[in-house]
Amino acid sequence: MAKEAEYAIEVEKLTKRYGELLAVDDISFNVRKGEVFALLGPNGAGKTTTVEIIDTIRTPTSGKASILGMDVTKRKHEIVPRIGVLPQGFSSFDRITVRETIQYFSRLFCCRKTDVDGLIELVNLTDKAQEQYKNLSGGLMQRLGIAIALVNDPEVLFLDEPSTGLDPRARREVWKLLLGLKNKGKTVFLTTHYMEEAEFLADTVAIISKGKIIAMGSPDALIESNANYLVLTLKPVDEKAIEIVRTMGFEPVHDNHEDIKVRVEHMDDVQKILNTIKDGGALLLSLDVRKPNLEEVFLKLTGEALRKNPAGGVAE
Amino acid sequence: MNPRIVVANLIVSIKSFYRARSTLFFMIAFPIILILVFGALFMKQDNMSFDLCVQDLDHTDSSAQLVKTLDIDGRFNVIKIDPAINATQYTKDNKLNLVLMIPKGYEGSFMQRMALHNPDASVTLTYLYDPSSIFVSMKMQILNSVFAGINQKMSGKPPFIRSAETSILAKKYRFIDFFVPGIIAMSVMTLSLFGTVNLNTELRQKGVIRKLSTTPITRTDWILSNILYQFILAVISTMAMLLVSYAVFRINLHIDAWLPLFIVLDVFAFVGIGMILTRFAKDAESAAAAANAISFPMMFLSGSFFPLEMMPGFMQTVARILPLYYVNEGLRASMVFNDHMAALRYSAIIGVFAAVVFILGIIATNWEEGQ
């Protein structure tokens, strides 16, 4: 009897090269059964190539990837019925309704027992069940994509940027849906460039940059080990407060609003900055102190923002 | 191959097609319009009559009798021109391609020959013609044959050489009967080729193929369902073409098992070619351009519209390496000549071709790097 695999996904020295371009550079990691694993990185970092090798869409140049103990390049036909995939930029047949689309994919998996209505309800598309795909909004299309990824009741779910292009409300709805899947014990492999998504959903986050995994661990552990400081956010009335902070030896950074962010070591530093601004006669409209997030971890590790904004600062 | 998957795919394709009403209309309407236009053209050729302008400068009973003879012949609709006007200028001004001029003195010469038996008496009729017209030589040939008949009668002796026409076909066929099988072959080709290329490049560009590659559907399932779908469309289109042809032109064709067989082989061959094009074309536009580059020469060179005999020798050789030629000839062999041996020969050739491109189509369909 075959030994039950300890990990849902095992990746070892995986490399993918397109001519001169090294898209995935010798990466290794494991995903435990039942966990949500997020591959976090900016566009072009190699997230999609990595997930598409693991979920059998692409073949690696070298290295090995296994799902449930099965090599993805050798046992695709055994793997496919046990995984569910939402590819990046998911799309379906324009003139086929929500219900028909789910039925179609269910038939591809030869699943007689798929609860089509249950899936439609799960992704909250009951009102749109008879709507053709082309008439759905971006958020509804993504939810249908997730429903399709679930038609075969997969053990491992791959979601490639499930909330990209969605408005904040639609994104929250997708997160809620994914949280439900996590609670059902599904192993979820997620790629995203939204650090909030990774922080909110993931048990383990791997940060990928230029095809390499540069850090991996739980969100808390990553922040603890890579960003042991506080972030002070100030909204000054004018430039005077910024000058004062700068003369104190701190480096204020503009974000995409009118706020500035200041990295401080202790709460004492916060008090010191506030007192100096007050003594200097400058005024503040608001202030906020918080722990750093994965965005700052990524910034610290790579020197780049996960997403760029026009002002050149770090996006929220 | 998994029949359940093939059927599931087929259902989705048919529903998508049915819900795109404009596609439905154009798919059925296009070949029917071709049949109606070309059919009307060929029907006219089968019973063709020409306008013939005649200027009778003699203006006598004898010359009037000659004009009447031309009119009664049925191949000409005679239009008389005023003898007082300049015929050359009139021909130019009215863009006529031929005017027959009966000279003054026609009756005098006629009487000399008939009453006085003067063998040297003769008359010269003038053809005033525009050499750039494609019909003028045909009109002049018909006129010559009419005049040869008159001369023969005037000689008072029976003709030495006579001709008898015996058709090699048991029935009398018109050009439309040969044309319809060619249009069936051509429209099944365009449906299969463009249908496959358009569907597959669109789905690939949208990422649907990438999603399908993460399901148990295989490339063979996918291509077979494409073929089945295109076959159903081809049958609908062929039935519509045949119904219109029967209703409007009363065509006279044999319909037997060869017809669906040739449709299947036509579909297999061109869906296979479509799959190969889809693999190498980067986007829908370049795939459609490649499909056009293949289908247009095929339409005109393989004898769908024009008989091969009309083409120069080297083009006839080219035609014989085109798969559509064998579908055309096979359909004509079965539907027009009822020649089962020829149909078998052509079906074997196109069958081998279809099998090869079908296998190449499966090999060329690469979903792993589908985007």
Tell me the pLDDT tens digit for each residue of A19-48. Answer: 888 999 999 999 999 899 999 888 888 999
Please give the structure tokens belonging to residue B221.
């399932």
Q: For the residues of B152-195, what is the DSSP string, one character each? A: HHHHTS--S-------SSSS---HHHHHHHHHHHHHHHHHHHHH
- Within an 8 Å CB–CB cutoff, is residue A100 touching chain B? yes
- DSSP code of residue A97: B
Contacts of A67 (CB under 8 A, 6+ apart): A8, A9, A54, A55, A79, A82, A83, A156
Listed as ranges, residues in chain A with pLDDT below 50 are 1-2, 309-316
The residue of B215, B221, B225 whose CB has the most chain A CBs within 10 angstroms, and thus the best one to mutate to test that interface, is B215
Instruction: Please give the pLDDT value at position A129.
Output: 94
| Residue A314 pLDDT | 35
Q: What is the CA radius of gyration of chain B?
A: 29
**pLDDT per position as a tens digit, A189-233:** 999 888 888 888 999 999 998 899 998 999 888 888 887 788 888
Q: Which residues of B touch A80 (CB under 8 A)?
A: 214-216
Min CA distance, B192 vs chain A (Å)? Answer: 20
**ipTM of this predicted structure:** 0.80
Residues in chain A within 8 Å Cβ distance of B203: 93
Kindly list the residues from chain A whose CB atom is less than 8 angstroms away from the CB atom of residue B226.
none
Q: Does B22 touch chain A (CB under 8 A)?
A: no
| Range 141-160 of A in CB contact (< 8 A) with B | 145, 148
Integer Rg of chain A from CA: 23
The whole-angstrom distance between B211's CA and the closest CA on chain A is: 6
- For A56, the token pair is 């059998």
pLDDT tens digits along B243-284: 999 998 888 888 999 999 999 999 999 999 998 888 888 777
Which residues of chain B make contact with A110, given a CB cutoff of 8 A? Answer: 2, 4-5, 216
Number of alpha helices (DSSP H) and beta strands (DSSP E) in chain B: 14, 4
- 10 Å Cβ neighbour count for A202? 23
pLDDT at A312: 34
Task: Give A172 to chain B, closest Cα distance, Å.
Answer: 24
Which of A78, A90, A91, A109 is the best substitution to test chain B (most B C-beta atoms within 10 A)?
A91
Instruction: Dihedral sign for Cα A150, A152, A153, A156, please.
Output: negative
Look at strands A83-86 and A36-40 and give their pairing: unpaired
Q: How far is CA A53 from CA A14, A38, A49, A58, B351, in A?
A: 9, 16, 6, 5, 39
Among B9, B12, B24, B217, the strongest candidate for a mutation testing the A interface, having the largest count of A CBs within 10 A, is B12
Taking the C-alpha atoms of residue A187 and residue A238, their distance in angstroms, rounded to an integer, is: 50
Q: Determine the topology of domain B49-167 in CATH.
A: abc type-2 transporter like fold (3.40.1710)
CB atoms within 10 A of CB B97: 21
Sort out which chain A residues have CB atoms less than 8 A from B20's CB and list them: 95
B231 vs A36: CA distance, rounded Å: 46
Q: Which residue, A118, A120, A124, is CA-closest to A139? A: A124
Strands (E), chain B: 50-56, 76-81, 98-102, 126-129
Sign of the torsion angle spanned by Cα atoms A174, A179, A183, A186: positive
Residue A178 near chain B (CB below 8 Å): no
Whether A96 and B216 lie within 8 Å, measured CB to CB:
no
How far is residue B343 from each of residues B270, B298, B303, B329, B347, measured CA to CA in Å? 19, 20, 16, 8, 6
0.90 exceeded by pTM: no
Residue B169, pLDDT score: 61
Q: With CB atoms and an 8 Å threshold, state whether A57 touches B370.
A: yes
Q: What pLDDT, on a 0 to 100 scale, did the predictor assign at position B1?
A: 79
Mean pLDDT in runs of 10 for chain B (371 residues)? 89 89 78 84 67 91 89 82 89 88 91 83 90 80 86 81 72 78 92 89 87 89 89 92 89 90 94 88 82 87 79 83 92 90 95 93 70 39
Packing angle between helix B340-364 and helix B219-249, nearest 10 degrees?
A: 140
CB–CB of B172/B35 below 8 Å? no
Q: Is A156 helix (H, G, I), strand (E, B) or coil?
A: strand
Name the residue ranges covered by the structural domains of chain B.
49-167, 175-364
Give the pLDDT score at A309. 43
Q: How many CB pairs under 8 A join A and B?
A: 75
B4 contacts on A by Cβ (under 8 Å): 107, 110
**Distance from C-alpha of A112 to C-alpha of B114, rounded to nearest angstrom:** 98
Mind telling me how many Å the CA of B216 is from chain A's nearest CA?
A: 6
Pair A62, A53: CB distance under 8 Å? no
Say yes or no for a CB contact (<8 Å) between B368 and A90. Answer: no
For residue B27, the tally of other CB atoms under 10 A from its CB is 21
Give the end-to-end CA distance of chain B in Å, rounded to a whole number. Answer: 24
Sign of the alpha-carbon torsion through B185, B187, B193, B199: negative
> Of the candidates A92, A94, A110, which has its C-beta nearest B4's C-beta?
A110
